[in-house]
């Protein structure tokens, strides 16, 4: 017994010694911070952070695999406590949120029905999946089930929608979506995104130079979420009030509804949303990223400069706009007349952009009041040139400098500033573009009795917007087609009395594809007029490159006097100078300048953050995705598009009151219902035969 007791004691002692030696040999010291970090986390063990509970998240933080703000439930407070434990500063970062980019209307047609399948993942693993659409949302709601914060719900159209107020950006939905469709991104990342070739893009989205998500904002209008629609538009276009009034809407050109019916009136819907905000008496909040302490000088406060400044500011940069004129707006203010875009609307729009924290320095001309060296000395890290195309082309005919002769931009700018211009009883406007038409319609409103428009080609070749040409016709302008000025005649005081022009006929097409006007010999004709306005084209004024000894003298320009930039990045040969809008493209459209402004903002952002200035591989870059361009769509029930409500001609020719009126809420909703909510291939037309939905498939053709 005693023996056995000693044996047991001996064995016990031996085990103790072995264990204590083993403990010393195999001891793994746990970092004491893990326990402390875990104490700072919410303790919910929800997995929303992407780790298997709070302990795993704490280990990840200490090992540097996760950031102090890992806890999506604990929020800023938890992040501050974890940072203190880790000895780092919290900093300020933008919060990501989830977004489902699929607005597949009534869903894509069904391919195969599998009874009993209730999950996206299971459905996607079965042969072919259930939906014909290869890219869009399957609509079984795996993401809704995965969201621990109640931020996802099934929308009325059968696809999930995100409640941004509840979303913590944990990424659970993104992880479970078998289509890789849901994206969890910060606002900045979204602002910097450009259309990719492999995305689900309706034709309208591809043809909008600003790349607005048109189907989404129309869906939002249809659902009564006009604030959402405004935010969708504004994420790509900060000048929605202006564009809603003056954009010639290239987006409507390839609208699929237009193949069998009239295109959706997309721009009127944009205007409806934009006016809704202005008339609501408040401004919808706009996100701005934390400050980067980088400074950018924007030269020119037109659409390109305003757009570039707006996006840079939203990305957290410090922006100052230098503008030669007394007020910002560029051609929106000094070219486009009041009856198309009222100044008070423009003022409201621009103020909203400046309110984000942008400084405006009007009455400052680059190249005269300041130059590149002074901007660099003042601490600006990059410069954007958005100087537009303000130099009018001259006719180069005898007598064109006589009293009573004006150039289009000079005339419109003076009218826009409210300055008086000596008017004649008759006036001849030379040119066929928007500038010429705006001059004509302004002259009519100012009381000139007879206004001619003299154009060397025919109506079909006029570059002005069709609606503008029609409006000028209705308002009484007289068109002299196939007429090319050869001289200006005047009296002994040097005052214009006649315009001499030659009749033309159309010959072979020129480089622009339009038939070249050829003079008819001996057809000289005199037109009696006491005022002539030349509006035959404009170019950027880049004379500041010649007037300087500084680095600016090396800025490359093209033979059209535009700033020579890389078309993908809009960076010039001087790495910290970028340009967009008319200054880079030559005279173009407001929406082109806006799209260019955002593209330049991305490049400037990359430059400021020390990244490579480059576009993303796979960007669509204004090309169309051939398989999205159909030549036939079936099942369309014809319904005329909403008509533009206009001020009657008799009222408008005597005033500068706005001509085009906004849609009512009811009309806007009706128009939104005409949208097919196209995606890359799906559109929503479905009929039910028995219980089985039959897809009425669109006929696709390869674009030429």
- By the criterion CB under 6 A, which residues form the site for ligand FAD? 246-248, 299-305, 322-325, 330-332, 335-336, 365-367, 386-388, 390, 409, 412, 434-435, 438, 544, 581-583, 587-591, 593
Whether 693 and 111 have beta carbons less than 8 Å apart is answered as: no
How far is residue 676's CA from residue 666's CA, in Å, rounded to a whole number?
18
Alpha carbon 409 to its chain's center: 27
- Cα separation, 257 vs 264, in Å, equals 7
d(CA 256, CA 366): 45
Query: How far is the C-alpha of 628 from the C-alpha of 237, rounded, in Å?
Result: 24
Q: Which is nearer to ligand FAD, 135 or 437 (CB)?
A: 437
Q: How far is the CB of 325 from ligand FAD (least distance, A)?
A: 4
Shortest distance (Å) from residue 304 CB to ligand FAD = 3
**Cβ count within 10 A of residue 500:** 16
Measured from the CB atom, the residue of 320 and 681 that comes closer to ligand FAD is 320
**Residue 318 or 323 having the CB closest to ligand FAD:** 323
Q: Can you list the positions of beta strands (E) in 537-618?
A: 538-539, 577-579
Element containing residue 505 per DSSP (H, E): strand 496-509
* Rounded-to-integer distance, Cα 366 and Cα 385, Å: 10
Alpha-carbon span 583 to 558, nearest angstrom: 11
Query: Min. distance of Cβ 337 from ligand FAD in angstroms?
Result: 8
Minimal distance, residue 439 CB to ligand FAD, in Å? 7
Minimum CB separation from ligand FAD for residue 600, in Å? Answer: 11
The helix (H) or strand (E) run that includes residue 620 is: none
Q: Which two tokens stand for residue 120?
A: 């996206």
Helix (H) or strand (E) holding 672: helix 665-673
> Residue 80 or residue 446: which is nearer to ligand FAD going by CB?
446
Q: Give the rounded distance of the alpha carbon of 230 from its chain centre.
A: 12
Phi/psi at 585 (5° precision): -100, -15
State the Cα–Cα distance between residues 292 and 609, nearest whole angstrom. Answer: 9
> Which lies closer to ligand FAD via its Cβ, residue 157 or residue 658?
658
SS (H, E, C) 257-326: HHHHCCCCCHHHHHHHHHHHHHHHCCCCCCCCCCCCCCEEEEECCCHHHHHHHHHHHHCCCEEEEECCCC
Inter-axis angle of helices 266-280 and 214-222, nearest 10:
60
Whether 466 contacts 252, CB under 8 Å: no
| Nearer Cβ to ligand FAD (79/240) | 240
User: What is the distance between the alpha carbons of residues 197 and 201, in angstroms, rounded to a whole number?
Assistant: 9
Distance between CA atoms of residues 117 and 130, nearest Å:
10
Residues 6+ apart with CB under 8 A from 639: 261, 674
Q: Which is nearer to ligand FAD, 274 or 682 (CB)?
A: 274
Closer CB to ligand FAD, 318 or 392, in the complex: 392
Q: Among 428, 484, 488, which residue's Cα sits nearest to residue 458?
A: 484
Q: For the CB of residue 532, give the shortest distance to ligand FAD in the complex, in Å.
A: 17
What region does 136 belong to: left with phi over 0, alpha with psi -120 to 50, or beta? beta
| CB 248 to ligand FAD: min, Å | 6
User: Least Å distance between CB 483 and ligand FAD?
Assistant: 21
Q: What angle do CA 263, 268, 273 make, to 5 degrees?
A: 130
CB 209, min distance to ligand FAD, A: 9
**Rounded least distance, CB 301 to ligand FAD, Å:** 5
Least distance to ligand FAD, CB of residue 589, Å: 4
Complex with ligand FAD: residue 195 or 435, whichever CB lies closer = 435
Q: Which is nearer to ligand FAD, 304 or 482 (CB)?
A: 304
Query: How far is the C-alpha of 283 from the C-alpha of 280, rounded, in Å?
Result: 8
427 φ/ψ angles, rounded to the nearest 5 degrees: -145, 145
Least spacing, CB of residue 294 vs ligand FAD, in Å:
21
Least distance between ligand FAD and beta carbon 305 (Å): 5
Contacts of 157 (CB under 8 A, 6+ apart): 103, 104, 105, 106, 107, 219
Measured from the CB of residue 437, what is the shortest distance to ligand FAD in angstroms? 8
Compare residues 315 and 589 and give the one whose CB is closer to ligand FAD. Answer: 589
Q: Pick between residue 135 and residue 589 the one whose CB is nearest to ligand FAD.
A: 589
Pick the closer one to ligand FAD by CB: 18 or 394.
394
For ligand FAD, give the closer residue by CB, 97 or 569: 569
């Amino acid at each position: 017994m005693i023996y056995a007791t000693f044996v047991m004691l001996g064995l016990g002692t031996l085990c103790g010694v072995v264990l204590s030696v083993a403990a010393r040999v195999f001891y793994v010291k746990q970092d004491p911070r893990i326990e402390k970090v875990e104490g700072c986390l919410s303790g919910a063990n929800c997995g929303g952070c992407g780790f298997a509970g709070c302990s795993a998240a704490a280990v990840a933080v200490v090992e540097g695999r996760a950031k102090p703000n890992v806890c999506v439930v604990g929020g800023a407070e938890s992040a501050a406590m974890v940072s203190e434990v880790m000895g780092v500063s919290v900093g300020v970062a933008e919060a990501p949120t989830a977004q489902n980019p699929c607005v597949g209307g009534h869903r894509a047609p069904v391919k195969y029905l599998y009874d009993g399948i209730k999950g996206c993942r299971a459905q996607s693993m079965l042969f072919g999946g259930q939906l014909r659409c290869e890219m869009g949302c399957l609509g079984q709601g795996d993401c809704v089930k995965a969201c621990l914060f109640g931020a996802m719900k099934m929308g009325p159209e059968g696809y999930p929608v995100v409640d941004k107020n509840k979303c913590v950006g944990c990424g659970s939905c993104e992880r479970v979506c078998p289509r890789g469709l849901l994206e969890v991104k910060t606002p900045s990342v979204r602002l910097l995104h450009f259309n990719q070739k492999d995305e689900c893009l309706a034709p309208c989205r591809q043809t909008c130079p600003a790349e607005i998500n048109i189907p989404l904002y129309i869906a939002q209008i249809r659902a009564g979420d006009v604030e959402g629609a405004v935010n969708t538009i504004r994420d790509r276009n900060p000048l929605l009030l202006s564009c809603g009034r003056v954009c010639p809407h290239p987006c409507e050109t390839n609208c699929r509804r237009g193949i069998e019916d009239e295109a959706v009136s997309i721009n009127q819907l944009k205007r409806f949303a934009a006016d809704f905000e202005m008339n609501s008496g408040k401004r919808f909040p706009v996100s701005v990223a934390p400050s980067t302490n980088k400074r950018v000088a924007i030269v020119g406060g037109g659409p390109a400069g305003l757009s570039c400044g707006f996006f840079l500011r939203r990305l957290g940069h410090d922006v100052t706009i230098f503008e030669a004129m007394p007020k910002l707006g560029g051609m929106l203010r000094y070219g486009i007349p009041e009856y198309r875009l009222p100044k008070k609307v423009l003022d409201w729009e621009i103020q909203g952009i400046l309110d984000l924290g942008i400084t405006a320095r009007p009455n400052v001309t680059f190249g005269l009041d300041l130059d590149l060296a002074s901007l660099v000395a003042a601490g600006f890290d990059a410069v954007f040139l958005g100087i537009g195309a303000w130099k009018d082309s001259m006719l180069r005919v005898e007598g064109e400098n006589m009293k009573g002769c004006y150039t289009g931009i000079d005339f419109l700018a003076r009218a826009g500033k409210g300055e008086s211009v000596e008017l004649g009883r008759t006036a001849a406007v030379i040119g066929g573009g928007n500038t010429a038409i705006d001059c004509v319609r302004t002259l009519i409103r100012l009381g000139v009795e007879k206004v001619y428009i003299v154009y060397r080609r025919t109506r079909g070749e006029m570059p002005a917007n069709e609606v503008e040409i029609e409006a000028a016709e209705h308002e009484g302008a007289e068109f002299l087609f196939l007429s090319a000025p050869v001289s200006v005649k005047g009296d002994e005081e040097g005052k214009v009395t006649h315009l001499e022009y030659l009749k033309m006929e159309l010959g072979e097409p020129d480089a622009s594809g339009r038939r070249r006007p050829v003079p008819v010999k001996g057809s000289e004709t005199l037109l009696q007029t006491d005022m002539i306005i030349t509006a035959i084209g404009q170019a950027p004024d880049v004379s500041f490159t010649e007037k300087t000894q500084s680095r600016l003298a090396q800025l490359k320009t093209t033979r059209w006097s535009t700033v020579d930039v890389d078309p993908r990045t809009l960076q010039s040969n001087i790495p910290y100078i970028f340009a967009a809008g008319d200054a880079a493209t030559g005279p173009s459209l407001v929406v082109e300048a806006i799209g260019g402004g955002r593209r330049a903002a991305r490049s400037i952002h990359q430059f400021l953050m020390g990244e490579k200035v480059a576009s993303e591989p796979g960007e669509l870059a204004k090309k169309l995705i051939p398989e999205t361009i159909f030549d036939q769509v079936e099942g369309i029930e014809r319904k005329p598009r909403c008509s533009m409500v206009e001020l009657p001609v008799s009222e408008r020719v005597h005033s500068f009151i706005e001509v085009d009126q906004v849609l009512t809420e009811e009309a806007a909703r009706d128009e939104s219902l005409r949208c097919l909510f196209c995606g890359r291939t799906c559109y929503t037309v479905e009929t039910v035969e028995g219980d089985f939905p039959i897809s009425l498939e669109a006929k696709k053709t390869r674009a030429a």
